[in-house]
């Protein structure tokens, strides 16, 4: 089933794939990594002016990684703002997605966390570096194929 936004994107020739609706009735779309930045700008201009959250997950061991964006269209005098969920899938060997920091500044720490935990590199992000783990940490702790080290060293713990 195609939602309102998907129909609008099709009408304007914007390539995407409709993934239906989630349990709350929020439309979910999939876009290709190479198209994501231009589609993000289009969605911002269309009215999705608030990035509610960005997260990422490992689809399957050895499989794809996903970066998920929950966007909201906030307008005055609207009780129920329109929402959409965008998913961008990338192969784990070349996990690169254009950053949307320059579209929604709230993507800053969220994209950094996805980089830190899953190793998805957000191109053109101004400060893409670890945010939760020490800079010396090896690997990506939330990947399903991550092997936890046998020894953890807590430095400067009191």
Contact between 90 and 33 under an 8 Å Cβ cutoff? The reply is: yes
pLDDT of residue 156: 52
Confidence at residue 77, expressed as pLDDT on a 0 to 100 scale: 82
H or E, element range at 41: helix 33-46
Averaged pLDDT, 37-61: 96
Query: Mean of the pLDDT values across residues 101-105?
Result: 97
Superfamily (CATH) of domain 4-138: NADH:ubiquinone oxidoreductase Nqo5 subunit (3.30.460.80)
Give domain limits for the chain. 4-138
Give the per-residue pLDDT at 39. Answer: 97
């Amino acid at each position: 089933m195609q939602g309102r936004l998907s129909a609008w994107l099709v009408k304007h020739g914007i390539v995407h794939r409709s993934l239906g609706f989630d349990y709350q009735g929020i439309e979910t779309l999939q876009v290709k990594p190479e198209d994501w930045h231009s589609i993000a700008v289009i969605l911002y201009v269309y009215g999705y002016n608030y990035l509610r959250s960005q997260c990422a997950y490992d689809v399957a061991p050895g499989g794809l990684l996903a970066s998920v964006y929950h966007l909201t269209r906030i307008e005055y005098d609207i009780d129920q703002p329109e929402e959409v969920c965008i998913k961008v899938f990338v192969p784990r060997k070349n996990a690169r997605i254009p950053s949307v920091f320059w579209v929604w500044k709230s993507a800053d720490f969220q994209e950094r966390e996805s980089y830190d935990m899953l190793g998805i590199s957000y191109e053109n992000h101004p400060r893409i570096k670890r945010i939760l783990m020490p800079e010396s940490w090896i690997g990506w702790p939330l990947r399903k194929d991550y092997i936890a080290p046998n020894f953890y060293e807590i430095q400067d713990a009191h």
